[in-house]
Structure 1
Amino acid sequence: MAEADWTWMIYLATHNNAAEVGEESVARMRQAALNERVRVLVQQATPERTVRRVIGASPELAADLGQIDSGAPDALLDFVGWAAAAAPARRYALVLWSHGSGWAPKEIERLAQGAPASVPLTAAELQQRGAADTAGQVFFSSALRELIAKPTPADRAIAFDDGSGHSLDTVELGRVVGRAARALGRPLDLVGMNACQMSNAEVAYQLRGNAEVYVASAEDMPVYGWPYEDILSRLAAQPAMDAAAVGRLAVERYCAHFRENPLPWGQDGLPDGVTLTALRLDGIPALAGAVSDLAAALRAGIDDMAGAVWAAQRATHAFKFQLYDLAGFCRALPSAQGATADAAHAAGRVLAALSDADLLLASAHVGAAYDAVGGLTTYMLPPGEGALSPYYAATAYAQHTGWGEFLAAYHAALG
């Protein structure tokens, strides 16, 4: 088989109540005007089975894997290896598709049986963790298994409520993408998240060096997901596009779709609109350096500046998982009463890094609620809403920026 320009590897972890909308998404992929220069390979999990497909091929079904844990890192890596061997290409895109990375109660019960706690999960707690807790919305089963293995209901409540699931998912995603890049012998050209709340600094930094371009949403993503028929058709018409151009294309066409096909935003569980951001990951270390300076400036004056930080945080757009828009916080901080000149200067450096073309390829939104957001979030648990995530320190971003140390000092200062 001749080498393609692009191979898209789309991994649908729809082993949950998103199986039907996952099927609809695959149907839209079939509508794309593909050719031999752009190949699309899919692994799709449902509660019944997991299958592999080569979109546009005859036969399309390449393998029926039976029931596997699509949240297992090795399952994702095996798919990447198969796709790269079946459709070698000059450039590779890996898209992870999951319904808010949601987990149904039955799946949590299955995992709980393999991660027993000293006080086992009851049926009522399983139902709560599956349906009500945002931390249950994780992509990797290894992350969820670690949360539900906490010894007591109180420990589990803290773990689920404080963003730990997101932290664990971030670390696991970095490991998997790193292993995938090593298997390919080079970084992935594009990593995309057809899932909710994944455009944040912690995730982007975890992927550095193993992917060139990262595309994700800071907000919840409607079940329609990416308009694959549009994006892939345009790519097939211009297959020589590089990863940066494809990242911009994805942002443009995603937001164009929802402008042209508006939903009842803010109703029936829908967000107030949509967001999508494409980042060039070569620029993420510079952002981390600026954040490190900001964290140091905030820690140095936190006893006198905690009120200013809290005022800036309250003025910043908040998303789920205790994630806040980073640009919004840095814009609000300098004008907050009590902010030091050093902190204001450092916040300005973060804003400059966020808008630098070496990092930001494109960021767009639909909905006035997002007019002031920058498209990249960061963890910032509000004071008085529990303990900081015990897993946050495991993220490379926290380790290299001191952001977790700042958060600890901030919480301690506000008592």
Structure 2
Amino acid sequence: MSRVSGIMFFLLCLTLFSCGGGGGSSSAGLQYTTDWSHRLTSGQITGQSQRVNVLDSAGLPVISVILQNVAAPVESTTFDLANGDYTLQVQLFSAPNAGGVQTGILEVPISITNGRGTTVGSAVGDPIANIGVSPDQASIQVGKGKQFRAFGVNSSSQKTFIAPDSITWSVLGGIGTVTQDGNFTDNAIGTGSIRASYTSGPIGSAVITGTQAVTTHSKWTVLVYLNSANSLQQYSFLNMNQMERVADNPDVRFVVQWKQFPAQYSGGTFNGTRRYLVAPDQTSSIASTLIQDMGTSVDMGSTQTLHDFITWGKANFPADHYCLILWDHGSGWQGPPSSSQAIHQSISNDDQAQSEIEIWNLSQALGSEHFDILACDACDMQMLEVAYEVKDNCDYYVGSEELTPAEGYPYDLVFGPLRDNPDMTPRAFSKSFVDGMLAVPLYNTSKITQGVVDTSQLNSLASAVSTLGTELKNNSSSLTSAIQFARANAASFDVSSSRYYRDLYDLCLKLEANTSIPSVLSATAGVKSAASNAIVWAGHNSLSPASTGLAIDFSTASAFSSQAANYRLLKLGQATQWNEFLEGAP
């Protein structure tokens, strides 16, 4: 039985299993046998039905059927599978028809090669004598990974079920790390072992040999932190395809950490998080090289996860120049005003982990790492509050003041010029982010903005903004109407009742139009001059005509009150008097 309609397959399998064992095709493939004879053993892991899942190499189900606890003590069935690597995942349930609660789990890696089948047997209700680990040995290059599975073994060496979430994984020998779903990453050359400890005592292990990774040096490495475990998942495939179109120059390498969440969002091609080296391809398929499958427990809304990706990417794909792209939803500098607010604030929203990276924690994720260019493929991120937060980690910061189309950067248009000339200076190349966004016909009906900031100029700009904040605060009673006019008429972005993002340069123009106080005019002139020095490239379409490339928060005091504590966590809040002005802004 080859891969056919899921409904047809499910119905056919139910027909086979209702006969009480012995069903299935005689063709080569996977033969699964389960022994129910000890199902009534007291104190052991037992059940009345099983769901048999065959997962492909991406962790997605190829087959999912139900086995009932029937009169026959041994039940067997066979599935035809194409050549490839799979995981047999069998869930044991307390009631018929996969009902009640899940009492046990059995996961075993299997391979189908040259049409040769394989057999896996299980026993229900037998005491667990040992824990098996598969594979039982592996040779892994430094920087790469391997998925290990643990299962119970009875006194007759039959595989048996273990309780869900009952394995604790650890690594001996200091050669790597392992997640709690058995995903191992090798970090050193040498020999060690991975250990699976069962809650009731038995321990299993596998021998691991870490080998030297082969690394090559390029002119550019582009690290893309692609967190699509959210409503943007469907657009991640478009962007991967775009990268593949311009991945044919070995001096410009794209390295991607990509998370999908197919249980909640349709169209996924794998479950969990993977690392890829993008390979050249002109088709709509994803042809990139899988470097590491990291499993399903990675939290892409974690600062540590981002930091780990950066250090891993730089170590394994060294280059003269680095570009980091943060891909996801964005919301400027703001975070949730209370712990009860749903996520989709700041950046890197992981809906599976229910987490995010707040802007004031970005420097923790970046650490001491430095990039020629740091770009946010996300909404609302081209703000002084964000740029100042990462100024010590990049030479040029790139983003959009406005909401960004869900399709995001046109990566082929942005990186095409670099592919053709990898000797471009980072400053010259950064303009491609602006040009690329303005060259997409699909975006003509959306407000498009894109700006590039020279971070070496941000200290001067922050100082000028601080001076302006002090002047506005000291003269607020005389400037009430001018401030309110500027807020109402300056170029605004992602408008809401609690969010007042305004274009910084245009804001100064609007303030100048309604005041004659010399110290205020001097302060706005200082901000405009410093902003002009900092913003090296900026572009917009006709739907956002007053954008100049960098926004700032210009909230009312009442709107700012719920965010004031968070603003004080920002480097800009600590370095300037801007938040002191906002706390009393009319």
Question: What TM-score results when the alignment is normalised by the length of structure 1?
Answer: 0.77
2:459 matched to which residue of 1? 285
Matched residue SS, 1:42:
strand
1:300 matched to which residue of 2? 474
C-alpha distance in 1 between matches for 2:314 and 2:288: 19
C-alpha distance in 1 between matches for 2:562 and 2:426: 36
2:345 matched to which residue of 1? 137
C-alpha distance in 1 between matches for 2:249 and 2:560: 52
Q: Is the 8 A contact 2:512 2:521 kept in 1?
A: yes
Rg larger in structure: 2
C-alpha distance in 1 between matches for 2:443 and 2:400: 17
C-alpha distance in 1 between matches for 2:260 and 2:433: 26
1:229 matched to which residue of 2? 412
Matched residue SS, 2:568:
helix
C-alpha distance in 1 between matches for 2:443 and 2:403: 15
C-alpha distance in 2 between matches for 1:328 and 1:59: 43
Q: Number of residue pairs matched? A: 345
1:219-368 mapped onto 2 (5 Å cutoff): 219-257=402-440, 260-263=441-444, 265=445, 272-320=446-494, 321-336=499-514, 338-356=515-533, 359-366=534-541, 368=542
C-alpha distance in 1 between matches for 2:288 and 2:383: 39
Q: Does 1:54 align with 2:277?
A: yes
C-alpha distance in 2 between matches for 1:66 and 1:138: 25
Matched residue SS, 1:254:
helix
- Hey, which of these two has a bigger chunk of helix by percent? 1
Shift, 1:140, TM fit: 4.8
C-alpha distance in 1 between matches for 2:429 and 2:301: 27
Letter in 2 for 1:341: P
CA 59–232 in structure 1, closer or farther in 2 if over 3 Å, else same: closer
2:119 matched to which residue of 1? none
Q: Does 1:66 align with 2:295?
A: yes
C-alpha distance in 1 between matches for 2:438 and 2:363: 27
Q: Is the 8 A contact 2:223 2:255 kept in 1?
A: yes
C-alpha distance in 2 between matches for 1:65 and 1:339: 60
1:23 matched to which residue of 2? 237
CA 170–339 in structure 1, closer or farther in 2 if over 3 Å, else same: farther
C-alpha distance in 2 between matches for 1:50 and 1:62: 11
1:105 matched to which residue of 2? none
Deviating runs (4+, > 6 A) in structure 1? none
1:84-233 mapped onto 2 (5 Å cutoff): 84-100=314-330, 129-130=341-342, 136-140=344-348, 169-179=358-368, 181=369, 187-233=370-416
CA 284–275 in structure 1, closer or farther in 2 if over 3 Å, else same: same
C-alpha distance in 1 between matches for 2:367 and 2:304: 12
Matched residue SS, 1:219:
coil
C-alpha distance in 1 between matches for 2:408 and 2:556: 30
CA 228–140 in structure 1, closer or farther in 2 if over 3 Å, else same: closer
Question: Which consecutive residues of structure 1, in runs of 5 or more, have no partner in the other structure?
Answer: 103-114, 122-128, 149-164, 182-186, 266-271
Matched residue SS, 2:358:
helix
Larger mean Cα displacement after TM superposition, 83-92 or 386-395? 386-395
C-alpha distance in 2 between matches for 1:326 and 1:89: 35
2:258 matched to which residue of 1? 44
Matched residue SS, 1:409:
coil
Q: Is the 8 A contact 1:140 1:172 kept in 2?
A: no
Matched residue SS, 1:373:
coil
- Hey, which of these two has a bigger chunk of strand by percent? 2
C-alpha distance in 2 between matches for 1:33 and 1:325: 35
Shift, 1:59, TM fit: 6.5
Q: Percent identity?
A: 26
C-alpha distance in 2 between matches for 1:375 and 1:248: 12
RMSD of the TM alignment (CA)? 2.6
Shift, 1:91, TM fit: 0.6
Q: Which structure carries more relative contact order (alpha carbon 8 Å, separation 6+)?
A: 1
Shift, 1:385, TM fit: 3.9
C-alpha distance in 1 between matches for 2:475 and 2:511: 13
For each residue in 1:84-115, what CA deviation from the matched residue of structure 2 results, as whole angstroms up to 9, or x when unmatched?
1221100110000003479xxxxxxxxxxxx9
2:246 matched to which residue of 1? 32
Question: Which consecutive residues of structure 2, in runs of 5 or more, have no partner in the other structure?
Answer: 1-214, 262-270, 281-286, 333-337
For each residue in 1:39-72, what CA deviation from the matched residue of structure 2 results, as whole angstroms up to 9, or x when unmatched?
1101111113111110117871111111111111
Letter in 2 for 1:346: A
C-alpha distance in 1 between matches for 2:317 and 2:513: 53
